[in-house]
Amino acid sequence: MTLEEIRKEIDRIDAELLPLFMKRMDCAKQVAAVKKEQGLPVFNSSREQEILDRIGSLAGEYGGEARLLYSSMMDMSRALQYNLLGGGGELRETIRKAGEAPEKAEKIACLGESGSFSNEALSLLYPKASPQFYQGFGGIFAAVASGDADLGILPVENSSAGSVSEVYDLILKYRFYIVNAATLHVHHCLAAAKKVDVRTIGTVYSHPQALSQCSEYITKNDLRPLPCSNTATAAQMVAQRQEAGIAAICSEHAANEYKLNILDRDIQNSSNNCTRFVVISRKLFIPDRAQKISLCFSLLHKTGTLYSVLARFAALGLNLTKMESRPIQDKNFEYDFYLDFTGNVREDATLNLICSLHEELPRFSFLGNYTECE
């Protein structure tokens, strides 16, 4: 057969498949009506497994491909049913009731000291708020949990050093809402108590992330990196100790705040060094112009489960911007997935998708829908 003849054959087959696909979707509508009457859940895992096993063995050499095709058709069948039945009632209600923004966000928990990068990000997002400083990420989550703080601001990832795993673990543990985000350009400098030659410096103090972001400079200048809880604390300590041979890696802002001398500027490995911060809250707020959705879930150990979740976002044109997998404590090699997508849950199709995932996936949490300041 020529290519043209084969393509004609494919067109004929597609024309035969389409009415059957539409008939199958009509059946899904009928199933939805029955399920509504009988109060049954949309998702029936054992029924889907039974179909996939049967199709897989009937399809012979195309078993894998056929399973994938039928799995996608059942995804669409479920999506249609959720659209008709409006599943995920509780979550739907929480999202519907969410306010636009906290009326007052006076107490915001923040890492470090005055002059820390978290402090800069906070000033960008909430110029009027006064920060409450904590030395560790755990303290920020605990402050939000106890109500000592209204909100907490946290660095989640850096363009060169990558994700801050400890923060993702805490996000997955506490499951607070994410209500705001900002990306900050981070410029590091080397600062010491006296104006000396860089060659006289032997030891540098900073947060491990900052040390990692300046690793090339540290190696080139033969410096000994020592970790500190954050960059501003490192600057403060170097200022207090007034010792020769030590310096801090911190922001210019922190160096000025603690009256240090700047020995070198822009010492980070990459000239485009950005850190992304998120703001956590016990209460859900969704601004009208929200464009980023965060959620987390775990998956059953079955072929194609992650693919099938991601395909449903792709089908709505929602772009995946971040994915992180973290081990679940006390479970061997089982993972929680953390995902960021573009989108707004006030759009019906997006809300239906989130609500359906809420019903289908283990350990699912909707973490928020917020704007991103860049």
Which residues, numbered 51-90, are part of the site for ligand PRE (CB under 6 A)? 51, 74, 77-78
Q: Which one of the spans 46-54, 136-144, 183-191, 281-289 is the region binding ligand PRE (CB under 6 A)?
A: 46-54
Q: Is the dihedral of CA 137, 110, 213, 169 positive or negative?
A: positive
Q: Which one of the spans 3-11, 45-53, 253-261, 311-319 is the region binding ligand PRE (CB under 6 A)?
A: 45-53
Half-sphere exposure of 39 (CA within 13 A, CB side): 0
How far is 353 from 88, CA to CA, in rounded Å?
10
| Residue 48 binds to ligand PRE (criterion: CB under 6 A) | yes
Least CB distance to ligand PRE at residue 87 (A): 12
Q: Residue 214: what are its φ and ψ, rounded to 5°?
A: -115, 25
Residue pair 299/360 in contact (Cβ under 8 Å)? The answer is no
| Residue 359 binds to ligand PRE (criterion: CB under 6 A) | no
Q: Which one of the spans 39-47, 117-125, 188-196, 343-351 is the region binding ligand PRE (CB under 6 A)?
A: 39-47
Residue pair 70/21 in contact (Cβ under 8 Å)? The answer is no
Q: Kindly name the residue from 133, 176, 277, 364 that is annotated as catalytic.
A: 277
Least CB distance to ligand PRE at residue 48 (A): 5
Least CB distance to ligand PRE at residue 168 (A): 31
| Residue 154 binds to ligand PRE (criterion: CB under 6 A) | no
Residue with tokens 């599943």, as numbered in its chain = 87
Residue pair 71/306 in contact (Cβ under 8 Å)? The answer is no
Q: What is the largest CA-CA distance in the chain?
A: 85
Which residues, numbered 209-268, are part of the site for ligand PRE (CB under 6 A)? none
Q: Which one of the spans 40-48, 60-68, 114-122, 245-253 is the region binding ligand PRE (CB under 6 A)?
A: 40-48
| Residue 47 binds to ligand PRE (criterion: CB under 6 A) | yes
Residue pair 312/77 in contact (Cβ under 8 Å)? The answer is no
Which residues are within 8 A (CB) of 293 and not within 5 positions of it... i.e. 6 or more apart?
A: 318, 340, 341, 342, 343, 344, 345, 350, 354, 366, 368, 369
Residue closest to ligand PRE when measured from CB atoms: 77
Least CB distance to ligand PRE at residue 13 (A): 22
Least CB distance to ligand PRE at residue 336 (A): 23
Number of residues forming the site for ligand PRE (CB under 6 A): 10
Instruction: Give the residue, chosen from 36, 44, 135, 221, that forms a contact with ligand PRE under the rule CB under 6 A.
Output: 44
Least CB distance to ligand PRE at residue 45 (A): 7
310: exposed, middle or buried (Cβ count in 10 Å: 0-12, 13-18, 19+): middle
Least CB distance to ligand PRE at residue 36 (A): 12
How far is 341 from 182, CA to CA, in rounded Å?
15
Smaller CB distance to ligand PRE: residue 45 or 291? 45
Cα–Cα–Cα angle for 59, 63, 66, nearest 5°? Answer: 80
Smaller CB distance to ligand PRE: residue 71 or 298? 71
How far is 171 from 110, CA to CA, in rounded Å?
15
Smaller CB distance to ligand PRE: residue 264 or 359? 359
Q: Is 275 a catalytic residue?
A: yes
How far is 61 from 278, CA to CA, in rounded Å?
48
Q: Kindly name the residue from 275, 297, 341, 364 that is annotated as catalytic.
A: 275
Instruction: Using CB under 6 A, list all residues that contact ligand PRE.
Output: 28, 31, 43-44, 47-48, 51, 74, 77-78
Active site residues: 275, 277
